[in-house]
Structure 1
Amino acid sequence: MKLLPLGGCLAAGGLLAASFAGIATAAPKVTTSAKLNTAANAATTLEFWTADGGANFKAADPFGLEHKRVPKHVSTGGPAADGKPGIVPATADIPAAAARTKNVNLPKTAGRVFFVLGEDLYSCSASSVQSTYKNLVATAGHCVYDPVGNQSVADKWVFVPGYYQGKAPWGVYIGKQAFTHYDWDVYEDADRDYAFVTVYNGIARSSGRWIDVGPLGAKVGGQGLAYNQKVGQATYVFGYPTAAHGDGDYAYTGHTLKFCYGKPTYPRVESSVKVEEHVALRCSMTGGASGGPWIIGYSSNRRLGYLNGVTSLGGDTDGNLRSDLITSPYFDGETYSVYKAAAPLWSGSIVKKDGTLGLTEVK
C-alpha cells in the first residue's frame, strides 16, 4: 500500500539550493525563486508542446514523489496558525453567470501544467490566482522544482487553463519565474509543497500567426487566496487525474477536469516525506491531480473562491488498490509570504508585431 504525491511514481532526491536566488522577504528566510523560461527560448518551448496537434500534451505522464507507507491520521486539534486569518480577494471583473444553477460550474482558472525532466514529459494540475498583473499560477512545489534529478527547475514549463482533450481553449501560458518556500527548496519538506509561478501573456495560433491573448487573469480570472484558516470548511478540489488506480483501472484520462468536495481533516502525518501537518480530504483522484486547487467559499456562479491549498499527496489508505485520499499543505502566513514575493511582478508579452515570438520582453 502506497500513497503518492498525486502525480506518479518517482522517489524524492535532493534539491540544489545553491541554484536558486533567495528573496529577502522575511527573517528567517522564507522564499526562493528561479527562472523558468526567457522570451528568447519561448518559441522553442511553445513549438515543443503545440507541434503535431499537441501530441506532446497527450503523451505527458503524471509526476510525483513516492510515499513509503500510508500516512497516519493523528488527531491533535487544529494547526497552529502563525498569525491572524487573512484573504486576498478573487478577480473582481469576472461577471457572474446570468442564471443561478444547482450544478457545479467548473472553474475557468484550473488547468494542466506541462514540463520536461531530462527526456521525459510530465504533467500536473494548477490554477490561476489573483495578482497585481493577473499573471500568477499556483501549483505544487514538486510540479516546478525537480526533486529527483537535482536540476534547478523543470524545463519547458507551461500552463494550459481549461485544458480539454489536448486543446488549449484560452491559450498557452509560458512560465517565467517560480517561487517556493525555502524549506521545500532546501529540505524537501512536503509541508511546504507549493509554488507560485509568474507567466507571460497567453499565446494562441490564428491564421498561421501567433497572437497575444493577454494576461492569464484577464482571460480566465484568478482565485483569491486564504491563509491561517480554520480547517474543516467546505472545500472543492479540482484537478486532472491521469494515472491508473492501484488495481490497474484507468478511471481517468487526464483530458478533462474533475472535482471532489468535502470537509478536510487535520493532520495527516507521513515522516518518509517529512509531512507533519497536511490537511486531508476523501477523494478518488489519482496521479496527475498534483497541484490542483483546494478552494473554500467557492461560488459556482462566479466560478471563483479562495485558494486554501494545493494537492500534494494521495493514494490508497484502506488497501483495496483504489485511490481514496488526497492531502494538501496547510496554508499559513509563510505561504502568504511566498505568494507576496511573486504577486507584484510583471511578465508581459513575448509575441512580436509580425506574429513571431522572441525578445519583446519590455515593460
Structure 2
Amino acid sequence: MSEMSRALTRPRAVLTVLGVAVAVIIAPAAAARAGSGQVVTTVAAADRAAALSYWTPERIKQQGESDGLPPAEKIGKVWPGPVPAGVGRLFFTAVPGGDESCTATVVPSPSKDVLFTAGHCLDGGTDRHDQPIKMTNLVFVPGYDHGRQPHGMFAARAFAWSDTYQGPSSALDDDGVIALDPAGGKHVAEVAGIQDISFEKVAGPVDTTMLGYPVSQLAHGEALVSCTRPATLDVNSAAADWTTGCDLAGGASGGPWLRNFDPATGKGTVYAVTSRGAVNVDGVTENLSGAELGDAVRALYQRAGGL
C-alpha cells in the first residue's frame, strides 16, 4: 500500500466531515519572530478566558464522534492506570480549519507553567490560499480521561517554536513550548507533576514508552494510549529523526517519548515527541517519527520559563 507521512494532529479532513460549528472565534493572538531565534505568540487575557469557556465537555467529546475516524490501534493500548505525571490533552482551534487536539507534557521550569509538545500543534502553516492558519482557543487538560479533568483546565498565555522549524511540511525541530496561566491559584506542575526532559545525545535503539491521545476508533481521544517499542535514530542531510513501529493515530502529536520509564512511578525522561506518522491508504499509522532534540530546541526550552 502506498504511504504518506503526515503530522498527527487530529486530521482537519475529519473535522470537515463532522461539520463542527465554531461558535466562538477569538481574535488572532499576536505573533512575533523574536531576535533570540524563537517565534513567539502571546495570547491576550480576554482570549485566554474565552478559550476556557469555549471548551465545554460537549465540545471536547464531539471530537471523537465522527464516523470517519481512523481504525483502532493494534499495537497501541489504552493506558491501564492513572495518567502518568504531567501528561495531558491539548485542545485548540485552527482558523481556518476547526477544532483539533494534540498531546503535551509538563516539563521542569522555574515558572512551573511550561508544556512541551510538537511544533505543528502550534504552527498551523498556511492554507491553500497561502494565508496563515492561526491557532486559537489553546487549553491544556492534564490527566484527561473520559471527560474527567482531575487537575482542571489551563489556558495558554504564550507559545513558541524555534525559527529553525519551517512549519507542518517540515520535520526539523518540530517541537514547541507553551506557557500556561495558573488555574485556581495553582501552577500546572504543582497539581499535575512533571516529566524530566533531556537534550543529551543518546545512541539507539532506545527502549521507549510513547504516550498520546489519538482520536481513533480505539478510544475516540477519550483515553491515553501507549506503545512500548524500541526507537532508532535516522540521520540524513536534512534532519535527524527517531522512528519506531507504533501506530498511534492523529491526536497523538506532541506526545512524549520517554526513556528510562518506570511504570511504578509513572516517570521517565522525554527525549523526543511524536511528530509525524507514515499513514497507509486505509488510514492506519504504520510508524511514528520524532525529531531529535537539537541545540535550537534546547535554547527554546531554556527560555520557556520567561514566556
Q: TM-score with structure 1 length normalisation? A: 0.68
Q: Distance in 1 between matches of 2:247 and 2:168?
A: 29
The residue that corresponds to 1:240 in the other structure is 213
Q: For residues 137-174 of structure 1, what are the alpha-carbon distances to aligned partners after superposition, in whole Å with 9 as ceiling and x for unaligned?
A: 11111111221344364111001111111231110010
**Does the aligned pair in 2 maintain the 1:286–1:315 contact within 8 Å?**
no
Map 1:93-104 onto structure 2 (within 5 A): none
What is the alpha-carbon distance in structure 1 between the residues aligned to residue 275 and residue 238 of structure 2? 10
Q: Tell me, yes or no, if the aligned pair for 2:272 and 2:290 is still in contact at 8 Å.
A: yes
CA deviations 1:312-361 (Å, max 9, x no partner) are: 111346x775322111010122211010111244xxxxxxxxxxxxxxxx
1:21 shift after superposition: 2.3
1:23 counterpart residue number: 34
Q: How does 1:77-156 map to 2 (within 5 A)?
A: 106-118=83-95, 120-149=98-127, 150-151=131-132, 153-156=134-137
Q: CA RMSD in A?
A: 2.7
Residues 124 and 168, structure 2, Cα contact 8 Å, conserved in 1: no
- State yes or no: 1:334 paired with 2:286: no
How far is 1:111 from its partner?
A: 0.9
Closer, same or farther in 2 for the Cα pair 1:153/1:183, shift >3 Å?
farther
SS in 1 for 2:156: strand
The equivalent residue for 2:26 is none
Letter in 2 for 1:156: N
Relative distance call for 1:167 and 1:106 in structure 2 (3 A) is closer
Structure 1 residue 286: Cα displacement: 0.7
Q: Which amino acid aligns with 2:148?
A: K
Structure 2 distance, partners of 1:229, 1:216, is 28
Computing the radius of gyration over CA atoms, which structure comes out larger, 1 or 2? 1
CA 1:135/1:152 → structure 2, altered by over 3 Å: closer, same or farther?
farther
1:263 to partner: Cα distance: 1.7
Per-residue CA shift, 1:88-128, capped at 9, x if unaligned?
xxxxxxxxxxxxxxx87641311111111236111111111
Report the residue type matching 1:325 in the other structure.
N
Which residues in structure 2 correspond to 1:309-348 (within 5 Å)? 309-316=272-279, 322-345=284-307
Contact 1:314 1:325 in 2 (8 A): yes
Matches within 5 A, 1:201-212: 201-202=182-183, 212=184
Structure 1's unaligned 5+ residue stretches are: 12-18, 63-102, 203-211, 244-249, 346-363
| Letter of the 1:342 counterpart | A
- For residue 40 of structure 1, report the CA deviation from its aligned partner: 2.5
The equivalent residue for 1:286 is 249
Task: Report the Cα distance in structure 2 between the residues aligned to 1:187 and 1:259, rounded to whole angstroms.
Answer: 24
Is this contact kept in 2: 1:183–1:189, CA < 8 A? no
In structure 2, the gaps of 5 or more residues are 14-29, 66-79
Q: SS in structure 2 opposite 1:337?
A: helix
Corresponding position of 1:34: 41
Superposition TM-score, scaled by structure 2 size: 0.79
